Amino acid sequence: MTDPAELLGASPPRLKASAQTGARPGVVGCLAGLIGFVIFGFVMFGIGRPHGYCYRIGPMQIFESAEGVSVFVAIDLVTSRPGLVRSPPVVRNPVRLYRIDVGRDGTVTRLILKPPAGKSHLLSIEPVVKLPEGLYLLQTPSLGHPFPQLHRIHGERIEPLSVQESGSVLRSLGYAGGDFQATRLVTERNGWQLLDRLGSTFRRFPKQVISHRHQFRLRFMEDDTADSITAESFGEGERWAVPLLTIKTRQWRSYRSPPHLE
């Protein structure tokens, strides 16, 4: 006959072993779920992965006048965001706006235009409008900004007119709203001709834009190391070629904010 004490003494070790054996699958399951969640976030949302950055030449407007050619060109910071479900995966934000004037003889004047504090959206190049008293950026109506507003380009500064004054000036010019075609007509009446307007799409720029009036062309080059714009003459007389703008386009990855544009 089995001693009851032996039964009582033998039972606890078996129960303890059973408890330990049952705990292991739970721990393993939790770890597997955690690892799967991390992998899912890493692949789908890019959690823990660095962003990719590079600078590229962005939208531009090119005008011809009696003095030469004027180029207004934005520089974009292009951010590639990791993850399969990021929307959009690539974002372009303007960080600098140049005005580059090229004379018939190849002389170049280059200015970095500076908007007022908090108005960095103007760097995306609103329509450039030539008026009798000067050059302006026209901020067209948008959500939160229902009325058009003029911003005067004064040297390297961008100075806003009030909405009321802007409306008065635009009405006096016969501008009743509309797209670039409407501003183009106003500009041409004041002596400037729009040669080309290049948008912020991801297509490549044309190889060249030609000023037949001044007999020189603008050439555009794009590759993985630099974007550049060069002016070169093709008419009679001494030939010349001058670089207008070069932007290094090397991409880098970082967990921090991108370095300042040179």
pLDDT in tens, 74-91: 999 998 866 555 556 788
The reply to whether 219 falls in a domain is: yes
Query: Does 195 share its domain with 226?
Result: yes
pLDDT of residue 19: 47
5 and 92: one domain? Answer: no
Answer yes or no: do 26 and 111 share one domain: no
Highest mean pLDDT among 33-42, 75-84, 142-151: 142-151
Q: Domain check: are 171 and 223 in the same one?
A: yes
Q: Which two tokens stand for residue 256?
A: 């921090």
Query: Do 135 and 206 reside in the same domain of the chain?
Result: yes
In this prediction, residue 181 has a pLDDT band, given cuts at 50, 70 and 90, of confident
38 part of a folded domain: yes
- 35, 98, 186, 196 from 193: Cα distances, Å: 61, 19, 10, 9
**Mean pLDDT, to the nearest integer, of 109-115?**
96
Q: Which of 245, 198, 200, 240 is nearest to 221 (CA)?
A: 245
Contacts with 95 (C-beta within 8 Å, 6 or more apart), sequence order: 55, 75, 76, 77, 120, 123, 261
The answer on pLDDT for 71 being more than 90 is yes
Paired tokens of 45: 């949302």
166 shares a domain with 76? yes
Question: Are 207 and 229 contacting, i.e. CB atoms less than 8 angstroms apart?
Answer: no
Strand-strand pairing, 51-64 and 252-254:
antiparallel
Residue 92 has pLDDT above 80, yes or no: yes
36 within some domain: yes
Is pLDDT of 57 > 90? yes
Q: Whole-model pTM?
A: 0.77
**Alpha-carbon Rg for the chain in angstroms:** 31
Q: Are residues 180 and 224 in the same domain?
A: yes
CA angle 77, 223, 115 (to 5 degrees): 30
Residues 164 and 66 reside in one and the same domain: yes
- Same domain, yes or no, for 3 and 132? no
Q: 197 lies in which domain range? A: 51-254
How large a percentage of the chain has pLDDT more than 70? 77
The pLDDT, as a whole number, for residue 125 is: 86
Question: Do the domain assignments include residue 259?
Answer: no
Residue 87 lies in a domain: yes
39 inside domain:
yes
Average pLDDT, whole number, for the chain?
Answer: 82
- Per 3-state DSSP, the chain is made up of helix, strand and coil in percentages (nearest 5) of 25, 40, 35
Residue 2 pLDDT greater than 90, yes or no? no
H or E element, residue 151: strand 149-154
Q: What is the pLDDT of residue 130?
A: 95
Categorize the per-residue pLDDT at 15 as very low, low, confident or very high, splitting at 50, 70 and 90: very low
Residues 110-135 have a mean pLDDT of 90
Helices (H), the chain: 4-44, 163-172, 180-189
Angle at 56 between CA 50 and CA 59, to 5 degrees: 130
Sorted by sequence, the CB contacts under 8 Å of residue 242 that are 6+ apart come out as 102, 106, 108, 230, 231, 232
Mean pLDDT of 108-129: 90
DSSP 95: E
Q: What is the pLDDT of residues 152-176, one digit of tens each?
A: 999 999 999 999 999 999 988 888 7
Residue 54 pLDDT greater than 80, yes or no: yes
Whether residue 72 sits in one domain with residue 20: no
Does 188 share its domain with 232?
A: yes
Nearest to 117 by CA among 147, 145, 157, 167: 157
Q: Which residue has the higher pLDDT, 21 or 190?
A: 190
In a domain, 119, yes or no: yes
Number of domains in the chain: 2
pLDDT, average across residues 209-214 = 96
pLDDT band at 199 (very low <50, low <70, confident <90, very high): confident
Answer yes or no: is 260 within a domain: no
My answer on whether 89 and 122 are in the same domain is yes
Task: Give the pLDDT score at 150.
Answer: 95
Q: What is each CA distance from 44 to 49, 85, 90, 206, 254, in whole angstroms?
A: 11, 6, 15, 36, 19
Using 50, 70 and 90 to split pLDDT, how confident is the model at 198?
A: confident
